[in-house]
Amino acid sequence: MPAAFYLRYRFSTLRPNGVLLDYTASIKIKGDSMHREFLMGNEAMAVGALAAGVNVVAGYPGTPSTEVLETVAKRRGEGVYVEWSVNEKAALEVAAGAAYAGARALVTMKQVGLNVASDPLMSLSYIGVKGGMVVLVADDPGPISSQTEQDTRTFAAYAKLPVFDPSSPAEAYEMMGEVFALSEELGCPVIVRPTTRVDHGYEDIEVADEKDWVSHEPEGFVRDPSRWVIFPALSVRAHAAIEARDAELAKRFSGYARNTVVQTAVPEARPRLGIATHGINATYVAENLSEKDDVRVLRVATPYPFPEDLAADFLDGLDEVLCVEELDPVIERALIATCGRRGLTVKIRGKLTGDIQPSGENTVESVGRALDAFLGRESDVARPCMSPQLPVRPPVLCAGCPHRASFYAVKKAMRGRKTLFCGDIGCYTLGNAKPLDMVDTCLCMGAGINIAQGVTHVEPDTAAFAFVGDSTFFASGITGVVNAFYNQANMTLVVLDNSTTAMTGHQPHPGTGRTMMGQVVEKVSIERVLRAIGLTVVETVDPLDHECSVETVRRVADEPGVKAIIFRSPCVVLARPKARSAVDAEKCVGCQRCVRELGCPALVPDAATGKVRIDPAQCTGCTLCEQICPTNAISGGERL
């Protein structure tokens, strides 16, 4: 039996620590009748929120958080409102308004989305809420699909908001009822911070039947300017109250059943070594321990406010502690501070001492090696066999992706000129890969538009292009265009409009005319928005019409001021032509221009003859390769 399951029943509690906080009784998400479901962590949290009586859910798509809101949309009952907001700031403000009115509100985002939402969240920490409000922020150690490895546990302490750190899909489900109740009791938002392996891990868990889900009736908004209008005087009072609240909450969290101290030996044993951990890392630790290891383990489910009293009991009698955590050394620093305040001489080890890797994602294997070194044991924990080395497969744009055609048209049109190509966040970031090599910068959503302006202020002779997707345009691109127009910048905005939010799973946005409530609404026109800002040169073209696209880029780029090209063609995953292109081997001369200039994965050069063939399993018949072949050797495709 794997150690993780064995220890679940072998661990003994060091001190009485098994009673849930009183507030958890107010939202019961374990009904009279239960059933089991095999759920992804994100699905589990969505179902937990629904079972807890959530009324309003808003968010912005971003891996690894996206499936939470999508699951709510699929499984919601009558009276539950759900939306993809234009960005995380808007989503948090929508949720805050609902919570002001007494609703239970959930807002979802990934860790970099919290940066966008931080402005309202910091003030909301002071203002507070009436209905329960949960801010679900999915962290991405690795990072696997993000710009940063920032740690929301650190942000929670900065914002002075409670944060919960689930270790499994089952626990994440159960936590949702607890955090909604705590939010209502304290009158403040509460953060839930799963990581990728919890978000995307699956577990067979017990959930409440839908008939037993809580039905929450909001009281409605009650006018009270002294509460809902933030002024410095209110903030001074609120800050003092927050500090007192968090100090008391730290004591309460020491009795929270998910904050545990356990040990692998018998309860009366007095081990000298300890391990402190959290989240998914707690399962990695359990996988690497057995009853032979005489250690004490602290598992922290509420990193802020830190349960210092429980931590002090854990430290009692220990000589050394290894902190096994991902991203920031949050627990390590908290234990060092606990030792300092309480005069303990325990040596705390972890990231700060080089015993745990300072960055990147931990694994069962990396944690096992760290425990072997810390415990001074031979590696007797079973290790998986080394996998054979796999061929390198860098990410590329899909075969037939219209973004490839857009980049190629701009590249060809501007060949020989001094140019700058500012990219952005989305599938089109992959335009940086060779042979396209069309992304010179990429910082964060919407930043390319403003970076292009900054460079041209220093280098006026540079022809600057800013590429932005349609979803990102609505999320954070519009203000950059306003700034460019107002400050008389000279640049070309290129909107890559594939009519979806493709990178995160084809979610709708204001330009699609669909909402997550299933409504068909009027599309927000990108052209009209740009013209309303003041742009006079706004042209829309099909990027798969190569000759027309190149001519449009050349002409528009020579216009003064801020001008825009909208390359509009649907994402090939959503709209696939039925025809496929094919190469006439008799006409193909083996120049491989199609391969060298486009980099489409459907184009396969033959090592023996040098000629090119097209993989019919990947080809979408977009016809771009047909249009650039110098010998007309490719045909058969169909441009939508």
The tens digit of pLDDT for each residue in 490-509 reads: 999 999 999 888 888 888 89
| Contacts (Cβ under 8 Å, ≥6 apart) of 443 | 147, 451
pLDDT at 600 over 90: yes
Amino acid 378: pLDDT? 80
How far is C-alpha 103 from the geometric centre of its chain's CA atoms? 25
**What SS3 class is residue 396?**
coil
When mean pLDDT is compared across 28-32, 99-103, 256-260, the lowest value belongs to: 28-32
Give dist(CA 515, CA 509) in Å, integer.
7
Label residue 454 exposed, middle or buried (CB < 10 Å: 0-12, 13-18, 19+).
middle
Label residue 483 exposed, middle or buried (CB < 10 Å: 0-12, 13-18, 19+).
middle
Give dist(CA 131, CA 455) in Å, integer.
46
pLDDT at 5 over 50: no
Label residue 539 exposed, middle or buried (CB < 10 Å: 0-12, 13-18, 19+).
middle
> Sign of the CA dihedral 623, 625, 630, 636?
negative
- Which segments of the chain belong to CATH 3.40.50.920? 260-375
Cα-Cα end-to-end distance for the chain: 56
Mean pLDDT of 148-157: 96
- Which segments of the chain belong to CATH 3.30.70.20? 582-635
**393: confidence class by pLDDT, cuts 50, 70, 90:** confident
Total residues found in the chain within this entry: 640
Fold of the CATH domain 20-253: Rossmann fold (3.40.50)
pLDDT at 267 over 80: no
Please report, rounded to a whole number, the percentage of residues in the chain having pLDDT higher than 70.
93
Q: Is 3.30.420.40 the CATH classification of the domain at 260-375?
A: no
H helix or E strand, kind and range, residue 374: helix 364-375
Q: Indicate the pTM of the whole model.
A: 0.89
Q: Tell me, what DSSP letter sits at residue 460?
A: T
- How many contiguous H segments (helices) and E segments (strands) does the chain have? 22, 23
Q: Tell me, what DSSP letter sits at residue 514?
A: B
pLDDT at 22 over 60: no
Amino acid 17: pLDDT? 29
- Spell out a b/e string for 302-321, using b for 16 or more CB atoms within 10 Å of the CB, else e: bbbbbbbbbbbbbbbebeeb
The tens digit of pLDDT for each residue in 499-536 reads: 888 888 888 898 898 988 888 899 999 999 999 999 99
Quick one: tokens of 248? 């008391």
Amino acid 59: pLDDT? 97
pLDDT at 472 over 90: yes
**16: confidence class by pLDDT, cuts 50, 70, 90:** very low
> In 88-231, where does DSSP find H-type helix?
88-100, 111-127, 152-159, 169-186, 196-199, 225-228
What average pLDDT does the structure give for the chain?
A: 91
pLDDT at 109 over 70: yes
Quick one: tokens of 376? 């001074």
Closest C-alpha among 300, 340, 339 to residue 320: 339
Amino acid 502: pLDDT? 84
What is the architecture, at CATH level 2, of domain 582-635?
A: 2-Layer Sandwich (3.30)
Give dist(CA 195, CA 144) in Å, integer.
11
Quick one: tokens of 178? 């607890």
Give dist(CA 552, CA 568) in Å, integer.
13
pLDDT at 299 over 70: yes
pLDDT at 3 over 50: no
When mean pLDDT is compared across 187-201, 206-220, 569-583, the lowest value belongs to: 569-583
Give dist(CA 535, CA 56) in Å, integer.
37
402-568: CATH class: alpha beta
When mean pLDDT is compared across 46-50, 305-309, 381-385, the lowest value belongs to: 381-385
**201: confidence class by pLDDT, cuts 50, 70, 90:** very high
Between the alpha carbon of residue 30 and those of residues 22, 173, 190, 207, the distances in Å are 16, 10, 21, 7
Q: With contact defined as beta carbons under 8 Å apart, do 592 and 614 qualify?
A: no
- Which segments of the chain belong to CATH 3.40.50.970? 20-253, 402-568
Q: Which amino acid is at 579?
A: A
pLDDT at 312 over 80: yes
Q: Tell me, what DSSP letter sits at residue 477?
A: I
Phi-psi region of 223 (alpha: psi -120 to 50; beta: other; left: phi over 0): beta
Mean pLDDT of 168-188: 96
Quick one: tokens of 75? 């499984």
Pairing, β 260-263 against β 295-300: antiparallel
